[in-house]
């Protein structure tokens, strides 16, 4: 669990990165300015909303770089590279709300059938990574708020991964993770 002061630092970093991006500038991060806990390798997602509507969401599933760099890079990508949305512009900044989710290490779920898998899901706790050959998708635990039924959660994750809702295969792989999530007020 991150201290509130560290969460505030990361939210400030994300906002600063996005603000500079609207001015076509890059945020040059000096790692020495951050505590060792924020320099540890971690995976994160940055979610952007305007008036409670999604404006961008980009993240990492595996810890490959320091948390401060991961948050900054994902904030920039969510604001300017999420192809589902128009890039954030300076006039969006006042309404923009930033959320950050720090992911635990994903762990494989062993299951014998779709019913077995659904029975193992922990609603409102599990984030899932679904993979079948080149099809891959993830839902953060926050998605349970809008897809509270485990059957529908899994069906929509399949669709997100480019599969049919009722698709099933012996090659299907599922991993779960949890998040520590926090947002701007």
Are the CB atoms for 101 and 179 separated by under 8 Å? yes
Ranges of beta strands (E only) in the chain are: 43-50, 53-59, 96-103, 107-108, 127-132, 135-139, 173-177, 179-183
Q: Both 98 and 120 in a single domain?
A: no
Structural domains counted in the chain: 2
Residue 167 is part of a domain; what is its CATH number? Answer: 3.30.1490.150
d(CA 131, CA 136): 4
Domain that holds residue 25: 4-103
Residue the block writes with tokens 């969006």: 92
Which of 70, 88, 103 is the C-terminal boundary of a domain?
103
Q: Both 121 and 49 in a single domain?
A: no
Q: Both 139 and 170 in a single domain?
A: yes
In a domain, 183, yes or no: no
6-48 pLDDT, tens digit each: 999 999 999 999 999 999 998 888 877 899 999 999 999 999 9
- SS3 of 170, please? coil
Please state whether the predicted TM-score (pTM) of the whole model is above 0.85: yes
Q: Both 34 and 89 in a single domain?
A: yes
Which of 47, 69, 103 is the C-terminal boundary of a domain?
103
Q: Both 16 and 63 in a single domain?
A: yes
Report the side by side order of strands in the sheet with 107-108. Answer: 107-108, 173-177, 127-132, 135-139
Q: Both 122 and 149 in a single domain?
A: yes
Q: Both 97 and 8 in a single domain?
A: yes
Burial annotation 149-165 (CB, 10 A radius, 16+ → b, else e) = ebeebbbbbbeebebee
128-182 pLDDT, tens digit each: 999 999 999 999 999 999 999 999 999 999 999 999 999 999 999 999 999 999 9
């Amino acid at each position: 669990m991150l201290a509130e002061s560290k969460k505030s630092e990361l939210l400030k970093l994300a906002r600063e990165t996005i603000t500079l991006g609207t001015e076509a500038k890059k945020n040059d991060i000096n790692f020495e300015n951050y505590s060792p806990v924020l320099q540890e390798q971690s995976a994160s997602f940055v979610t952007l909303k305007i008036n409670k509507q999604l404006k961008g969401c980009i993240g990492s599933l595996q810890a490959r770089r320091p948390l401060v760099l991961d948050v900054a890079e994902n904030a920039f990508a969510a604001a300017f590279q999420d192809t589902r949305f128009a890039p954030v512009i300076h006039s969006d900044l006042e309404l923009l709300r930033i959320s950050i989710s720090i992911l635990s290490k994903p762990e494989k779920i062993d299951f014998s059938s779709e019913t077995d898998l659904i029975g193992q899901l922990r609603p409102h706790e599990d984030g899932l990574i679904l993979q079948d050959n080149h099809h891959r998708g993830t839902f953060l635990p926050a998605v349970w708020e809008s897809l509270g039924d485990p059957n529908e959660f899994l069906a929509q994750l399949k669709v997100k991964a480019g599969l049919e809702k009722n698709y099933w295969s012996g090659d299907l792989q599922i991993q779960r993770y949890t998040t520590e999530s926090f947002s701007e007020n």
